[in-house]
Chains A and B, each alone.
Chain A
């Protein structure tokens, strides 16, 4: 399942899809991320800005997630080509005197960071409104669920988890409510990026993790 071809007339409007917890995107460490079967790289410059690109260098197709970050540039591991925050190639080490052509760039996608989550639309297009994430949440963990994203969405909805698009709110009796950001990895697997409401630490964080394990179990169970 791939995202719609930008040239297609029946293109759905762009929407913010959660792809990582902000806390998991440390400065200077590129992170490979799957989105609907596509390989993306999420990285943060030392200045703090986060970017989401296609995980592929335009030179010889090497995955940029294996690369290294220097300041606000991401360098490809294969030949050291450097790309700046605007995705343009800024240096080609084999030709130190060459100014890389302006058209040479990584393929970059719209990115937003809000409420402790990193979002992308998977295309250059961005919706008018930012992602509707409340502030003041504590990141808990990203939970891998061995079930397709449609199944996960349907089961969260039927469990009354107040889903709003890709974000669902799970109220709990034994602790702070959890925000679940739904992220389809590929045809069989889904990631739930979970945050807890309020400033949560210690034992409350552990009970939140236990609740997520129970949730995963119920989402992965075969249909009755």
Chain B
């Protein structure tokens, strides 16, 4: 597969790694939207080059990751205000390869109905499977999809959670391949912890996922936090790699949603409005 020609996909910033995973004199080969890239570290600066043409790409370091773009984005990275709060800890999980469309990864991240079955006894239990009605909207002012008033019973909501709780969630799809979750902070209910999934779509049906956790948590070690996130993600990967078709179908005939899938319905409508083609299943109903 070669580099996509879909401008909707090209004109965005994407994570391609973490600064600490790069070392001087050891270029790293990676892929973005079907194009081969070479990342490097020289003179203290991170570089990204489109390998085939040698074209230097713009690079931004933010939120603990390296970002680049193959196109000309009309706006910068999504603002995440919690990164300005000085008492928070950032744990980044690093690259996890998934043989699935990045769009499927976002939908899985938004979904709560799978907690009792995929994250059994951690994020959900089978005898409390109900997804209560929640709200979801495409916010036109910021061009993002938000799901609010989400609630789910969780036996172990986070690395440092002691006993079960009713978790309150807020989901924010900031970009087609960037999604955030805001959860009530266990140690300070007035604040929210942020969990992010930053996706590097290498090809239409393959992605690299970078999860991060930005918490007000004085108790758990960074290792415990990362381990918790990785456990959750590896459970999801079994699902993600076995969904068919691999690319996201937008036709309502292909896949049947229920009320619990409100955020997925909004996300797919949003993607359709944008005219995204990369990662979208071609066989669309008329």
Contacts and interface: CB of A to CB of B under 8 A. Distances in A.
A39 B129 contact: no
B114 interface: yes
Given A59-B256, A78-B114, A79-B113, A94 B242 contact: no
Most chain B CB atoms below 10 A, which of A77, A94, A96: A94
A31 to B, nearest CB: 14
Most chain A CB atoms below 10 A, which of B126, B130, B249, B264: B130
Contact of A96 (B114, B130, B239, B249): B130
Contacts of A55: 244
Contacts of A95: 130-131, 258-260
A94 B239 contact: no
Given A79-B117, A80-B117, A63 B131 contact: no
B255 A61 contact: yes
Interface of A: 39, 55-56, 58-63, 66, 77-80, 92-96, 98, 104
B118 interface: yes
Contacts of B165: none
Q: In which size bucket is the chain B interface? A: 20 to 34
Given A78-B117, A93-B116, A93-B129, A63 B258 contact: no
Nearest to B240: A62
B121 interface: no
Given A62-B243, A80-B117, A94-B129, 20 more contacts: A58-B255, A59-B256, A60-B243, A61-B249, A77-B239, A78-B239, A78-B243, A79-B111, A80-B116, A80-B129, A93-B113, A93-B117, A93-B126, A93-B130, A94-B112, A94-B131, A95-B131, A95-B260, A96-B129, A98-B258
A59 B264 CA distance: 12
